Amino acid sequence: TFGNLGENYELVAIKSAGVSLRKAMQPLLVLILGLALASFFFSDFMLPKANLKYGSLLWDVRNKKLSFLIKPGVFNNSIPGYSMRVERKGEGAIDSLYGIMIYDHSSGNGIPQIIMAEKGKMSKTSDGNYMVLNLV
């Protein structure tokens, strides 16, 4: 701001009117200090709460709809030792998948086993510890 005022000779006009540079800069300094304090308190109090709420909402969505992280037509490596590709997902509350291709890398010999199915359904066990994939 003061650089722009200096380029247009407005600072010279302010100083010739008898206003010192310190008096001219005082409102801007107060504004800058207010913004600095507001940004500090926002990042100290509000940002952690917002991140916690975002994380808990994402966790709730993942647990409610298991196929949330699976994108159609893209290989998914979120399950260790397995790569899964799904052509399309079913609509609605049921986690139905179509055109499933699963590469099992858990054998350790470097040659994956390939499992293919036309359709399947994802569900959780009653205790919520395991995911069940029923293939048809």
For the chain, 136 residues long, the average pLDDT of each consecutive 10-residue run is 81 87 88 96 94 88 72 87 89 78 85 90 83 86
Q: What is the pLDDT of residue 34?
A: 97
**CB of 130 closer than 8 Å to CB of 124:** yes
Q: In what order do the strands lie in the sheet with 82-89?
A: 82-89, 96-104, 113-124, 131-135
What's the rounded Cα separation, in Å, for the pair 112 and 66? 24
- Residue 102, classified by CB atoms within 10 Å of its CB into exposed (0-12), middle (13-18) or buried (19+), is buried
What's the rounded Cα separation, in Å, for the pair 107 and 125? 25
What's the rounded Cα separation, in Å, for the pair 74 and 70? 8
Query: DSSP assignment, residue 128?
Result: S
What's the rounded Cα separation, in Å, for the pair 95 and 131? 12
